Structure 1
Amino acid sequence: MQLSATPYEERLTAPRSWWLISFLVGVSFALILLPFGTLPLLGGLVGGTAAAAVVASAYGSPRIRVVGDSLIAGEAKIPVAVLGATEVLDAEEARAWRTHKADTRAFLLLRAYIPTALRVEVTDPQDPTPYLYLSTREPERLAAAIEAARTAHA
């Protein structure tokens, strides 16, 4: 099995501020449990911080990959053969496609903390999804990897 000529992998890691917020959630739990003593207070701090960090990590860290003849975005796996034109979206255009230009049938791997994105048309007539909106820090590289995979497996 041959991999695409331009392999691509990106993890959309959560911003640093989310980790501070996770700690503050732990502090909140500790303050709630303060009347019950020192051990519950420490348990609230550790447990609350850990629970909030797990949630931040799970939501804030999806992966986008181009592997072989497939684009894998979060939990979606799409063959590159059914993908059409790509459009690199700067911060302003990405905001427009997240709001007033958005189609409710589109697949969105949307992370508001990432300002740029890539819009990829879906050309499969059997699929009602008109396009994929993928938040990415490197939209040009992702577009090139999709194109390289498409031509390698055409």
Structure 2
Amino acid sequence: MDEKKQTARPYRERLWVPLWWWPVAFAITGLLAAEIHMGAPGLRAWLPYVLLFPVPVWVLLWLSRHRVEVAPDASGTPELRVDRAHLPVNFVARAAVVAHTAKSAALGRQLDPAAYVQHRPWIGPMVLLVLDDPDDPTPYWLVSTRHPERVLAALGLPSAG
């Protein structure tokens, strides 16, 4: 238990959508606005572009809203924060890195329905944190992150995978 209470390095990551999604979203929006415009003069010439172009910005920013963070709690023990969910490190029995090649199995037949899952399809690897809390029915957390080794290092946990 003492090795889990090491001084943790803070970690913060925002799970942004891939950059190539932005031009694709604007191209699709431009095509839709051009279909509405269809060469008509006046208001229909510019209004579709003005009204539709904020939509992909809002959608892509909404998809990128998720954060993974490791920070100390009130007692100084590191905890994993995924959006509004908090997991103190002293409830973690063991941890592993789930490679992008094993993600399909981890989210498929092997997935426990009671597990806490924060999955983003555009993020390859994941972190698996098996819990040891008799008061919590959640057996483990499965969280998408671009740098799973850094998350585990920030939590002060050894990686089993």
Q: Deviation digits for residues 127-151 of structure 1, max 9, x if unmatched?
A: 2211111111111111111126xxx
| Higher normalized helix content (fraction of residues) | 1
**Shift of residue 63, structure 1, vs aligned partner:** 0.9
Aligned residues: 145
Tell me, in whole angstroms, the C-alpha distance in 2 between the residues paired with 1:38 and 1:135: 48
Residue range with higher mean Cα deviation, 91-100 or 7-16: 91-100
Helix, strand or coil: the match of 2:101? helix
Q: Distance in 2 between matches of 1:60 and 1:123?
A: 31
Which of 69, 73, 88 is equivalent to 1:65? 69
Could you say which residue in structure 1 is the equivalent of 2:129? 120
Q: How does 1:1-154 map to 2 (within 5 A)?
A: 4-35=7-38, 37-68=41-72, 69-147=78-156
Q: Structure 1 residues 83, 42: CA separation in 2 closer, same or farther (over 3 Å shift)? A: farther
Q: Secondary structure at the match of 2:102?
A: helix
Q: Compute the displacement of 1:111 (Å).
A: 0.8
Q: Distance in 2 between matches of 1:84 and 1:144?
A: 15
Percent identity, aligned pairs only, is: 28
Q: What whole-Å deviation, never above 9, does each CA across 1:66-110 have from its counterpart, x for those lacking one?
A: 110321112312222222211011111122112221122111111
Q: Which amino acid aligns with 1:144?
A: A
Question: Compared with structure 1, are the counterparts of its residues 72 and 40 closer, same or farther at alpha carbon in structure 2 (3 Å cutoff)?
Answer: farther
Name structure 1 gaps, 5 residues minimum.
Answer: 149-154
Alpha-carbon shift at residue 41 of structure 1 (Å): 4.3
Partner Cα separation in structure 2 for residue 44 and residue 80 of structure 1: 50
Conserved? CA contact 1:26–1:47, under 8 Å: no
Unaligned runs of 5+ in 2: 1-6, 73-77
In structure 2, distance between residues paired with 1:52 and 1:17: 13
In structure 2, C-alpha distance between the alignment counterparts of 1:70 and 1:14, rounded to whole Å? 25
Alignment TM-score, normalising by the size of structure 2 = 0.79
What RMSD in Å do the two structures reach over aligned CA positions? 2.0
Instruction: Tell me by how many angstroms 1:31 deviates.
Output: 2.8
* Distance (whole Å) between structure 1 residues aligned to residue 8 and residue 156 of structure 2: 10
* Post-superposition CA distance 1:35-57 (Å, at most 9, x none): 56453443322332211221111
Greater C-alpha Rg: 2
Task: Quote the Cα distance in structure 2 between the aligned partners of 1:25 and 1:122.
Answer: 44
